[in-house]
Structure 1
Amino acid sequence: MSQLKHRRRKDYTYFLSYRTRWSDNDQYSHVNNAVYYLWFDSIVNTYLMERCRLDPPTSQLIGLVISSFCEFFAPLSFPQVVDLGLRVNKLGNSSVTYEVGVFAEGRDEPAAVGGYTHVFVKRVERKSAPMASEMREGLSKLLSNSPSTPAKL
């Protein structure tokens, strides 16, 4: 059994709520797996814009996803509200690995856990580049101290 199934809300520092939409459901009446990746992208980029001074249209550095994953533990479906929890598992010079816990509103155990790794590159040249100090400082606030201990904001 995956260790990720044992994550709880306390393991995440930053949260964003999302109301599922009718169109999120697939033909089996549960949220389609591709929607989870949209949620991951939404919470990560919301955090980067709110807390790390990222301005996507003007930023000289952009984050490219080089790997992603998701493990599913319980189905979700419209009209549920979900809470997305964000943490950083690894922070490098030009890369960061995010983890997102997906929780049904009011539940402490995750319905899914996933995430991805961003490598920051220069927008035009697409060459790896170190993160700006504001980005690094903001992301470090989400850095997990251990696989099950949340960071403190």
Structure 2
Amino acid sequence: MSQINLKHRRRKDYPYFLSYRTRWGDNDQYSHVNNAVYYLWFDSIVNTYLIERCGLDPATSPFIGLVISSFCEFFAPLSFPQVVDLGLRVTKLGNSSVTYEVGVFAEGRDEPAAVGGYTHVFVERVERKSAPMAAGLREGLGKLLSDPSSAPAKL
């Protein structure tokens, strides 16, 4: 993905949102949100969606998602006590993998302060072998797909 394309994302590009109030401890010594915090936000919005909209129970599910790659591009600083809105979309949906994109927006702004995300590969909890996504999970993630024609046919 090129930085120009990501920098031009807007709120309308993301079908699911979660608000987050920054904390004093999110700031680093330079008085802006530390880059590691963005990855916590990505994990929070993805897992909130998986639990609330896809019926995934992380404690009991026979399948888990392992992060195999991640990225983040920063465009504007954020700092405590700002409220941020996290937008979520799926850019690629495979049989056992999904790539998420998260837009990080300062409250009331239409342009992102950062855009990032990661790819999950779903595996069996115990054996850690790749496994096709359950129908409910796949259906829920499909609702976030930015280009539904890019999803492989259901098996």
**TM-score, normalised relative to structure 2:** 0.93
Structure 2: gaps of 5 or more residues: 149-155
Q: Secondary structure at the match of 1:2?
A: helix
For residue 68 of structure 2, give the secondary structure of its aligned residue in structure 1. strand
Aligned residue among 53, 56, 61 for 1:54? 56
1:2 to partner: Cα distance: 2.5
Residues 29-40 of structure 1: pairs in structure 2 closer than 5 A: 29-40=31-42
- Listed as ranges, the gaps of 5+ residues in structure 1 are 147-153
The alpha-carbon deviation at position 3 of structure 1 amounts to 1.0
- Residue type of the partner of 2:128? R
Give the CA deviation at 1:25.
Answer: 0.1
- Tell me which of 20, 27, 30 is aligned to 2:22: 20
- Secondary structure of 2:99 counterpart: strand
Match of 2:85 among 83, 86, 98: 83
Partner deviation per Cα, 1:33-86 (whole Å, 9 max, x = no partner) = 000000000000000000000000000000000000000000000000000000
Q: Distance in 2 between matches of 1:52 and 1:145?
A: 19
Match of 1:129 in 2: 131
Task: Tell me how far apart the structure 2 counterparts of residues 105 and 21 of structure 1 sit (CA, whole Å).
Answer: 15
* Corresponding pairs, count: 146
Task: Name the CA distance, whole Å, in 2 between partners of 1:33 and 1:128.
Answer: 30
Distance 1:37 1:129 in 2: 25
Secondary structure, in 3 states, of the residue corresponding to 1:35?
helix
- Amino acid in structure 1 at the alignment position of 2:147: N
Aligned residue for 2:118?
116
Alpha-carbon distance between aligned partners in 1 of 2:145 and 2:131, rounded to the nearest angstrom:
20
User: How high is the sequence identity, in percent, across the aligned residues?
Assistant: 88
Aligned position for 2:152: none
- The amino acid of 1:12's aligned partner reads Y
| Correspondence 1:44 to 2:46 | yes
2 CA distance for matches of 1:52 and 1:94?
A: 15
Which residue in 1 is equivalent to 2:145? 143
Q: Distance in 1 between matches of 2:95 and 2:125?
A: 17
Alpha-carbon deviations, 1:116-153, whole Å to 9, x = none? 0000000000000000000000000000028xxxxxxx
The AA in structure 1 aligned to 2:86 is: L
Is 1:64 the counterpart of 2:66 in the alignment? yes
Give the aligned CA root-mean-square deviation in angstroms: 0.8
